[in-house]
Amino acid sequence: MASLQHPFQCLRYVNRQSMGQSDILIATAGRNLYSYDSSSGQRLDVWPQPVDANVEDNAEDKSSDAAPASESQGPPEKRRKLSSTSEEQQDAKPESKPKDSNKEASNSWTNIPLVAVAHSKYVVIMTSEDKCVRVLSLDNEGKLQQLSARTMPKKLSALTLTPDENNILTGDKFGDVYTFPLIPSGEYVKVQAPAKAYEPSATNLTVHTKRNLESLEQQMRQAALSKTNQAERVVLNFEHQVIIGHVSLLTELISVTRPADSTVGKRNYILTADRDEHIRVSRGVPQAHVIEQFCFGHTSFVSSLCVPSFEPKVLVSGGGDNYLLVWDWLQNQILQKVQLPGAEGEITMRGIWDVSLEPTADNADPVKAIFVSLEGSSQLLYYTLESDNTITHQDTLQLSGNVLELTGLGSRGSILVAVDTLRQSDSTSAWKSSSQPPLEAFRFSSGKWAPVDDSMVIKINSEGTSNLPTTIEEKQQKELNDSMYNLGNLRKRGDYDE
Amino acid sequence: MATQNPPAKRVKREEYRRKVQAQQESTDGSVIKMPQKKFFRQRAHANPFSDHRLEYPISPAHMDWSSHYPAFVDPDTSKTNLSGGRKLTKEVEVVDIGCGFGGLMVGLAPLLPDTLMVGMEIRTSVLEYLSSRIHALRSQQQRLKNKAANPSSTEPQDASTQPENTESTPAPAPANDDEIGTEKLFPGNFENITAIRSNTMKFLPNFFGHHQLSKIFICFPDPHFKARKHKARIISESLNSEYAFVLRPGGLLYTITDVEEYHHWVLRHFLHGEQPEGGPAPAASSKDLFERVSEEELALDPCVRVMKFETEESKKVTRNKGNKYVAVFRRKADPEWPA
């Protein structure tokens, strides 16, 4: 029996022809990040490398911004805010252990659910369990090298870049959107007021009951005792800004540029979606605090937003509803409500992807495709965007496993679909006995998307991804299921809490 | 009255509330008594992050206000909103976030008789009290109006006591709260106020559109003393962005608290701090959308007086000789788009 392999969770096609280089496919599976040559399918690199000593050396040589002398042994990205020298020594101990850092790191996450690519030469990822945003360089040969790692306070649900690709935008489970530079600039010095003695904000003018007064007294006593006991938090010790906040679980975040038209110039926007049915339209950085619009229409959580690159006025959104909404998002105007196969309360959007194809000899018209997949479904719904900005269902593609991720393959007129290698088709929990190939390709010809034997896909599939342990317990299976199919948890269960 | 086995507090409460409910539903024109607060008290805190069981409209265009402001329903029955409800002749434009027992609403109602105001409260019991209170106030005003129009009424009391006198001094004793408005006719007859259960931290934009509001009140908000709980505070830079969205340029956001630390928190989250001379400009934030209103201006604003002296919480603070910290902010216009 062939051993089970991790499915691909994220795919990104990196177009590098403008840089005079061949295109690269970036993929994550399990806890690894892979880079592939897009023509041959040759694996170029795996990150993190299986534990071996020379990785460290490379990291030191290549890192662009040198670490301060005191920390030269440590990985350059572990830049800590140190407020005093005495603290420095204390803090340095657990943090800077270069020999162990790789091993430690290799245990600290199990998957990489979020990926973005900047300037075709940086890969930004979030490793799940350690909530760490890592920036890696992608060099000419497709080698991956970690440049920085920044720990966020909460697990991220969305990661993208500002339109200039110089800043990272993240959205977290707490509803906050952060922005910080792709490449950390210089040393971050946290502006901090000198340590103040703790002083309760309550006073005997504001609390009156006997019990409250007692606890206030207790706080005062405690404050006197524990002045020194202030453990510094290791998160967010880098330059950052909170620019948007929802009092809800943030589910999706995209950055959109509307090209100039007759009345206004080019404008950037940030679209955020949350568990409380909201889609919010804010201005782009640095004016993200100005909310321009809310798009109202969903009655369950919103988990997928897609503004097609070929029609930035339009938004296609979906989540826990059994319909898609097509919007003129700047006007909060619903252009179309598209019914999905499945009952309300049961289906969950996995993803919405836009793919455009230039006209070719084969296809006279440009293709403006919107692909939609539902969580735990092996079908891929294919829609086209019409000239009146509505979408029309054209076809449903059947995959060999649940659809997880999709990417267009640039000029090749095809799409690449990652399917679930572990779970049986149309199930989010029942496992297969043996793995199947993780990728499938479809090419557009004569108005249809047809499966195609792409040499790159064959090569990638033949090499596979990383193996799961040969014996896997039910509990681990469940954990893996939950980390791959977690959107259903966003549904409100109507718990009563006054 | 002391009995050995007094009924549990809850039983008493439920009985009382059922009575109030029945009284409201009856249409026999009998005198509706003011509800008593003691039967509606509720723990002063609610978790703003939990789902509760809230009802809220899909969007402001779906919100049916007609049952809340029957006196302001547009007579044209063909005008309906997206959920099929009758439209009003004007829009709601004043909101009291965390209205509690509604002292501010009731105090403001006669001051702004032609302005529609809504109090929003997350706690069900408190909200129920305020709804009953408004219902009772309205029906009493109706009764007084009828009497004034028809002096031959059998009621012995003279109802024509200066209907214009809205500047009545607030009742000094707290119990009199429940009696407010019983004897006088007030401008607006409390038809312009209502109360809704909501979690504004999540759903404020579901009720109000872009630049719809002229005033937002945040009076004696839950201070969430523990630093760990500060994220639950109703004032934060990201929530201020939402207040700015629903507040029209020139509109005012009123805050009052008795917790000095919270007052500084409010100032810190609405205003840029002192910038060092020649230092970098402060990072763009929702602070750019507000400016503080001067003390002189506030002295002339009757709403500030109501906020300081007529809300239940402010009376409690007065009783306990606490301090009151007022800060009011004016919504500035949105900044120009970057070129």
Domain range summary for chain A, segments of one domain joined by + = 198-234, 351-492
- Tokens describing residue A69: 């002398």
**Which B positions 11-50 lie with beta carbon below 8 A of chain A?**
42, 46-50
Of B237, B283, B320, the CB nearest to A208: B320
CB contact at 8 A, A342 and A374 = yes
Picking from A167, A176, A208, A296 by the largest number of B CB atoms within 10 A of its own CB, the best residue to mutate is: A296
Contact A286 B202 (CB under 8 A): no
**Which B positions 302-321 lie with beta carbon below 8 A of chain A?**
320-321
Query: Does B199 show up as a binding residue in the annotation?
Result: yes
Task: Render each residue's pLDDT in chain B as its tens digit; 339 residues.
Answer: 555 565 677 777 788 878 777 777 766 556 667 787 777 777 777 888 887 788 899 999 999 999 999 999 999 888 888 888 899 999 999 999 999 999 999 999 999 999 999 999 999 889 999 999 999 899 888 888 888 877 664 544 444 444 444 444 443 333 345 555 567 788 888 999 999 999 999 999 999 999 999 999 999 999 888 888 888 899 999 999 999 999 999 999 999 999 999 999 999 999 988 776 766 778 888 889 999 999 999 999 999 999 999 888 888 898 888 899 999 999 999 999 987
Contact B51 A495 (CB under 8 A): yes
CB contact at 8 A, B97 and B118 = no
Terminal Cα-to-Cα distance of chain A (whole angstroms) = 54
Sequence-distant (≥ 6) Cβ neighbours of residue A147 within 8 angstroms: A63, A64, A76, A77, A122, A135, A136, A137, A183
Of A201, A245, A494, the CB nearest to B262: A201
Which chain A residues touch B283 with a CB distance below 8 Å? Answer: 241, 286
Sequence-distant (≥ 6) Cβ neighbours of residue A273 within 8 angstroms: A250, A251, A252, A253, A279, A280, A302, A303, A304, A305, A317, A319
Q: What are phi and psi of A178, to 5 degrees?
A: -110, 150
What is the C-alpha to C-alpha distance for residues A319 and A274, in angstroms, rounded to an integer?
Answer: 10
CB contact at 8 A, A371 and A407 = no
> Could you report the per-residue pLDDT of A109-147, keeping only the tens digit for each?
889 999 999 999 999 999 988 899 999 999 988 999 999
Beta bridge partners of B323: none
Query: Does B124 show up as a binding residue in the annotation?
Result: no
Contact B334 A290 (CB under 8 A): yes
Which chain B residues touch A293 with a CB distance below 8 Å? Answer: 210
Which H helix or E strand runs over A305?
Answer: strand A302-306
What is the C-alpha to C-alpha distance for residues B199 and A141, in angstroms, rounded to an integer?
Answer: 53
Quick one: average pLDDT of A382-410? 92
Torsion of Cα atoms, A142 then A116 then A156 then A153, to 10°? 70
**Which B positions 207-266 lie with beta carbon below 8 A of chain A?**
210, 223, 225, 231, 236-242, 244-245, 258-262
Helices assigned H by DSSP within chain B: 9-25, 103-108, 124-149, 200-207, 237-246, 260-270, 295-299, 302-309, 312-319
CB contact at 8 A, A306 and A271 = no
Question: Which positions in chain A have a beta carbon within 8 angstroms of at least one beta carbon in chain B?
Answer: 174-176, 199-203, 205-206, 208, 241-248, 264-265, 267, 276-278, 282-283, 286-287, 289-291, 293-294, 296-297, 299, 332, 492-498
Query: Does B121 show up as a binding residue in the annotation?
Result: yes
Contact B49 A247 (CB under 8 A): yes
Nearest-neighbour CA in chain A from B77: distance (Å): 25
